[in-house]
Structure 1
Amino acid sequence: MDFAEDLIMIGQRAKNAARKLAFTGTETKNKALLAMAQALLDNQDAILEANVLDITAAEEKGLKKSLINRLRLTSAGIADISNAIKEVVGLPDPVGGGELWKRPNGLVIQKTMVPLGVVAMIYEARPNVTVDAAALCLKSGNACILRGGSEAIESNKVLARVISEAAEQNGIPEGAIQLIPKTDRAYALQLMRMNKYIDVIIPRGGAGLIRTVVENSTVPVIETGTGVCHAYVDLDADYEKAVSVVFNAKTQKPGVCNALETLLVHEAVAEEYLPMIGKKFKAYGVEIRGCDRVRKILDYAVPATEEDWSTEYLDLIISVKVVNSIDEALDHIYTYSTKHSETIITENYTASQRFLNEIDAAAVYVNASTRFTDGGRFGFGAEIGISTQKLHARGPMALPELTTIKYIVYGNGHIVE
């Protein structure tokens, strides 16, 4: 059996499962989710053993330390993934309900929410995405087809098996959670063209992966974007806040899309502020790539190139530029932003409102770290990704974004005259 036949079978099972999931009750879905959460804990040893295989292979390939850290699972990490599922259980079911109104002619119309159907995820590296995606899709009544990267394939196989078995044993139809066990590029390309079986594809990973899916898919795509995230330290910034927020945004978890990549500093505060943040970055091992004005203040900074301003490092590297005004900062962000997350550090209300109003991004902050752009931190539970497009979802995508609209119309022999 070739890969195309393999995928058709997976697609058929998913479509059949989605038909049943669409009217599966909240109680059944929550029971299955709780069983999935417990199954992760019960199978912790098998999951960790598989993860060791992935980590070893990654180290042998010489992958970056930041990528290996994203791959690594621990007992505490598995507990966190399990707890994330439990948080999804506690969230409202997004399916059903909706506004109801009566027309003058007596027709009653209801706008209700229904599942998208079959959701395909193509993603890289982090094995927790396997569980997060499956949990969110199940709660919102969608079947999911998961295609993870080769770096985490052994971990993903065990995770998918454990949670799918637990779900099926608790009332969820077979085929609702499926992992493609092969990482060949041909499987991914074929998946992108399976309009007959798949309703939407969500890519989650680096710029190359997202671009490949957007350019090759005939299935509708919800584009989760790369994060060239900026912080602008304004003329009226509080230095203590500016150091704390910027350092956190860059170093708390540098290998993720909401980590800070570019720092812009107003020239009026550069002489005082840059040595303060520079000292912390240097001590932590962050490489600073600066413009000429930055390098005159921080002699250990290396020259920034044009390419640096548009680079998502996902590493302990940051590009830094001194700007003449908030206008120059806004222009720079407009030019290089990937429309993910941007923050201003200022005590000036007018400046903060300009920034909020003029920046076009999924999340815009005042005096807060970009690392907050996350479904869990926004109170949505686990997330399926951060959308940087404008249709049909934007920002952290959780349960509501995995549904669409259906209009239900009640008549009594009504006809159009």
Structure 2
Amino acid sequence: MTELLNKIGKQAQIAAQTLAQVPTSTKNQVLCAMADALEERTPEILEANQADLADTTGLEDKFIDRLTLTADRLAGIADGVRKVANLSDPLGNIERGWTTDSGLEISQKRVPLGVVGIIYEARPNVTVDSAVLCFKSGNAVILRGGKEALQTNIKIAVILREVLGAFNLPKDIVQVVAETSHELAQQFMRLNEYIDVLIPRGSARLIQTVVAHATVPVIETGAGNCHIYVDETADLQMAIDIVINAKTQRPSVCNATEKLLVNAAIAPDFLPQIAQALASSHVEIRGDEQTCQILGDQVRPAQPEDWDIEYNDYIIAIKIVDGLDEAVSHINQHNTKHSEAIITTDYEHSQQFTQQVDAACVYVNASTRFTDGFEFGFGAEIGISTQKLHARGPMGLKELTTTKYVILGQGQIR
């Protein structure tokens, strides 16, 4: 296994060196060709996906949803690839420049990270998103997905690699590790000689495992225990619409809202309305003691662990709070630093919320479901970083680059 990974890593390094010299115009042509190929070969991809879906014994519905591809989903993925082609290339941008007292001309230039490793679970869209974002930003990528999506990932990679070959570019710019054992995954996390950064995408368990065991630098993408706080000044119909969207539009994803905090002043009026709307969408409600008193048998009592769970399901926990300070305190204690929202018409409250809540994305009067590279205008995303170093929030092209200093002299010595 070590020999296999070393071979893949060496191939990626060589490919990255070639890719760093490819002009933006060529990269954009390749990306458009990749998008076309994904659409033209949709039947092949769906056939591979059906082979993966043939055995989903023991998998939860939310996992199966992430694994499943449809023609519409593939069309959306291809559209995302085209959007990446239309984005500005960050490479070569001069961040800043100056001349020192000794006459040295220094510029800080944006460059690729090099080789990016992605370790992920049953999300075939990650295969495409990661490949195209790394390609546009000048990085070779090594993809190690889960066994549940192996056939789909391999088929997608074959198509993308064929496009690269058609443009006389190294196919090893995109590689998929077909071996899905835990032993190989552990070795992959320690491939420091070849991988410059490792990005895990998936469950909290996967992410925590990578963070705990990797020696390669890790950009931590996080689970989403996301909250909505309904302020006493909120437009209640707006609050209902946003909560229903954030909870039910696609509950299996990390930007779906899991917790609802309601100001005590409006709880008697608002809770029956939101409970009815949630019931219509078949959402189970778990509530604190006050919520249970108001809603009765419409809600089951929340347990202490409920406040820290990412359900990824048609479940929401509701807590009544005395005001904004308690809401902020509760969120910062229990959230995963992903996405948080306030529904309010009070400007000062909105500003306090955005300033004090510790999360990658903080919303005022909008659904948490917008935390997404496509929605942010990035075309796609490599992941949503919940850490604070290097990158935070949806990661697009710029977040897949670093900088180097270029210093021009005229014979200066120190």
TM-score band (shorter)?
Answer: over 0.9
What amino acid sits opposite 1:115 in the alignment?
P
Per-residue CA deviation, residues 148-167 of structure 1 (Å, 9 max, x unaligned), is 11221111110111111112
Alignment of 1:8-27 (within 5 A): 8-27=6-25
Aligned residue runs from structure 1 range 114-153, under 5 A: 114-153=111-150
1:276 matches 2:270: no
Give the conservation status (yes or no) of the 8 Å contact 1:13–1:174.
Answer: no
Q: Say if 2:73 is the partner of 1:77.
A: yes
What 5-or-longer segments of structure 1 have no aligned partner? none
Cα displacement (A) at 1:46:
0.9
| TM-score, structure 2 normalization | 0.98
Contact 1:255 1:314 in 2 (8 A): yes
Which residue does 1:321 correspond to in 2?
A: 319
Q: How far apart, CA to CA, are the structure 2 residues paired with 1:91 and 1:221?
A: 26
Residues of 1 paired with 2:335 and 2:120: CA distance?
A: 22
User: How much identity, in percent, do the aligned residues show?
Assistant: 53
- Residue by residue, what CA displacement relative to the aligned partner does 1:56-109 show, whole Å, maximum 9, x if unpaired? 211xx1322222121111111111111111100000111102033223432211
Q: CA deviation at 1:387?
A: 0.3
Scaled by the length of structure 1, the TM-score of the pair is 0.97
Deviations 1:128-150 (A, max 9, x none): 11000000000000000001112
Q: Which amino acid aligns with 1:74?
A: T
Contact 1:230 1:262 in 2 (8 A): yes
3-state SS, counterpart of residue 298 of structure 1: helix
Q: Distance in 2 between matches of 1:182 and 1:200?
A: 20
**1-structure distance, mates of 2:203, 2:63:** 11
Q: Whole-Å Cα distance in 1 between the matches of residues 228 and 334 of structure 2?
A: 13
Q: Which residue of 2 aligns with 1:160?
A: 157
Q: In the alignment, does 2:85 pair up with 1:89?
A: yes
Structure 1 counterpart of 2:262, one-letter code: V
Q: Which secondary structure does the structure 2 equivalent of 1:202 belong to?
A: strand
Paired position in structure 1 for 2:100: 103
Deviations 1:329-368 (A, max 9, x none): 1111111011100000011111111111110110001111
CA distance in 1, matches of 2:190, 2:275: 48
Contact preservation (8 Å) 1:119, 1:199: yes
Give the number of aligned pairs. 412
| Corresponding residue of 2:43 | 45
- Look up the equivalent residue of 1:47 and give its one-letter code: I
- Cα distance in 2 between the residues matched to 1:141 and 1:81: 20
Contact 1:374 1:396 in 2 (8 A): yes
Cα deviation for residue 186 of structure 1 reads 1.1
Does 2:234 correspond to 1:237?
yes
Partner Cα separation in structure 2 for residue 302 and residue 123 of structure 1 = 34
Structure 2: any 5+ residue segments left out of the alignment? none
Partner of 2:180: 183
Please give the per-residue CA displacement for 1:19-56, whole angstroms capped at 9, x wherever unaligned. 11122211221121112111111211110101111222
Residues 1:406 and 2:371 are matched in the alignment = no
Q: C-alpha displacement at 1:174, in angstroms?
A: 2.9
